[in-house]
Amino acid sequence: MDDKIKGRYTEGDYLDKNPTWHEEDSAWKARHVLEMLSRNDLHPASVCEVGCGAGEILNQLYSEMPDNVTFTGYDISPQAHELSRQKAKERLQFLLKDLMEEDKPVSYTHLTLPTKRIV
């Protein structure tokens, strides 16, 4: 990723302009993910959000999905991670990391971007 674009998220500018990191929209976004899973009869064992921001979408999914599902959020922003890590639980982890820079293979049964299923 271009360093200038990356810097927007990592240097504090994004937090200045978006102090809630869009947390207020999370329930709406989580509801759409749940509807998508239901409509396609999908029952993932693990859910990963790349660019999880404040982590509230995963937190909402954690509350609504079965208690055998694990959740992982990746974000490159230290400011976002500061917000998300407070929501971490045994099956809900937040990593201050770019998924593309993981040094070991990762496997998730359901990988989401805010609006797009990847695998």
Ligand X SMILES: C[S@@+](CC[C@H](N)C(=O)[O-])C[C@H]1O[C@@H](n2cnc3c(N)ncnc32)[C@H](O)[C@@H]1O
Which residue from 49, 87, 42, 92 is spatially nearest to 67, judged by alpha carbons? 92
* Near ligand X by CB under 6 A: residue from 65, 71, 77, 110: 77
Whichever of 9 and 71 has its CB closer to ligand X, that residue is: 9
Comparing CA positions, the residue from 117, 93, 115, 118 lying closest to residue 29 is: 115
Q: Strand order in 70-75's β-sheet? A: 92-96, 70-75, 46-50, 110-112
Q: How far is the CB of 66 from ligand X (least distance, A)?
A: 22
Of 19 and 67, the one with the shorter C-beta distance to ligand X is 19
Residues 21-60 that bind ligand X (CB under 6 A): 22, 26, 29, 50-53, 57
Residue 80 found at the interface with ligand X (CB under 6 A): yes
